[in-house]
Amino acid sequence: MIDEEITVVGHIGLDIIPTLKNNCIEKFTPGSMIDAGNILLSIGGVFNTGIDLIKLGIGTKLIGKIGEDYFGEIIINLLNKIDKRITKYLKVVKDESTSYTIVLSPPKKDRMFIHFHGTNDSFSYDDVPFDEIKNSKIFHFGYPPLMKNIYLNSGNVLKKILEKIRAMGIITSLDMSFPDVTSESGLIDWECWLKNVLPFVDVFLPSFEEIVFMLDKTTYNRLNNFGMSDVISFDYLKYVSNKLLDMGVNIVVLKLGEYGLYLATTNKKLLNDSNLKNLINIDKWANKSIYTPCFSTEVLGTTGAGDATIAGFLAGLLNGNEPEDAVTIATAVGAYSVESIDATSGVKSLDAILERISKGWNKLPTNLSSKLINI
């Protein structure tokens, strides 16, 4: 593995994925028996992004917490199969249990989760080995809504972490996850949380559903009742991204699932005042609004697709690509991910992905229309 250029930090757990058949979800009723195939075990959480970055060929540190238990042992064994060095910063703690997620991901359907937070709830400022990551160029944190110590108190713990990272000259990146609406996380004032944390974030990469839930409950209720096609439009994407940019973030990447990806950036002055100037051409990235649809592919499972998309985007950022190329790489890595039922096994090297793009890999059509750049 080459020198670590990206540090990935945050939620980690074990994904337990039964192989399901078409239309089995309709049979999920009390007393029913569901015919399933083999169980797949894989890493879950933001570590998916880290593993994808490693598979793309990018040196990556992984930082998180697991319990001293059987699920924790499985996670270590799975990581060791990739590279024994990547468990170096994985903290194993006694008297806490490893997080796990039962992933229900039937073919051509969106996934559902049964989740236990475990050790992620106690993750704190002191769990970040700042001296060990000082040479990283990008610091990516993921899944705050599934980490109690991170989502409480308006995100002050994460704010303190990101403020320290920013002062070290490192680009900060943040991914979210959907809060459990029946839990404490679902009751958080997420708009207040974002206003507190985003001034210390350079790149923010939430899903469309997550950010609509956090910023616009009325529209989220429409989305929940009638589907994404009822609410998504370029005008609304621009409205949401502008709201986030006004909170202080420099680059917004909205993951739109089957609809693709949307990018919005701040102005030249603010980009030049950030650590992003160390990697990107500010003139090329300033004041951008870019949409790209997904690549055409056979979808076997959507678990980890968002994490893979983020890995692709961060790879483009690290390599100094122009924004149009960065979002293309992001959607391509996401497409590779869904060609496998688990989160990461479908992802190939960056060279292989770029070669497939260069050979004319088709993209899906889109019904969205606007004067925004559409690639």
Statement: residue 323 has pLDDT above 60? yes
Statement: residue 261 has pLDDT above 50? yes
CB atoms within 10 A of CB 166: 18
- 31 occurs within a structural domain: no
Model confidence pLDDT, tens digit, residues 65-112: 999 999 999 999 999 998 888 888 999 999 999 999 998 877 766 677
- C-alpha distances (whole Å) from 151 to each of 21, 58, 146, 154, 216 are 36, 29, 8, 6, 19
- 97 occurs within a structural domain: yes
Give the pLDDT of residue 367.
65
- 314 occurs within a structural domain: yes
pLDDT mean over 58-63 = 94
Q: Give pTM, 2 decimals.
A: 0.91
User: Domain limits at 323?
Assistant: 6-25+37-374
| pLDDT class of 2 with cuts at 50, 70, 90 | low
What's the domain count of the chain?
A: 1
Phi/psi at 192 (5° precision): -60, -45
Statement: residue 121 has pLDDT above 70? yes
| pLDDT class of 1 with cuts at 50, 70, 90 | very low
Q: Which of 60-69, 147-156, 268-277, 335-344 has the lowest mean pLDDT?
A: 335-344
Statement: residue 120 has pLDDT above 70? yes
Would you call 110 helix, strand, or coil by DSSP?
A: coil
- 323 occurs within a structural domain: yes
Statement: residue 373 has pLDDT above 60? no
CA atoms 182, 258, 25, 114: torsion sign: negative
Nearest to 260 by CA among 233, 294, 227: 294
Express as a percent the part of the chain with pLDDT over 90. Answer: 71
Give the pLDDT of residue 371.
46
Higher pLDDT, 11 or 297: 11
Strands 112-116, 100-104: pairing is antiparallel
pLDDT mean over 342-371 = 82
Which CATH number does the domain housing residue 244 bear? 3.40.1190.20
Give the pLDDT of residue 8.
97
Model confidence pLDDT, tens digit, residues 178-207: 998 888 999 999 999 999 999 999 999 999
Compute the mean pLDDT over every residue in the chain, rounded to the nearest whole number: 91
End-to-end Cα separation, the chain, in angstroms:
33
- 1 occurs within a structural domain: no
Higher pLDDT, 20 or 76: 76
- 92 occurs within a structural domain: yes
- 123 occurs within a structural domain: yes
> Hey, what are 215's tokens?
């910023």
- 324 occurs within a structural domain: yes
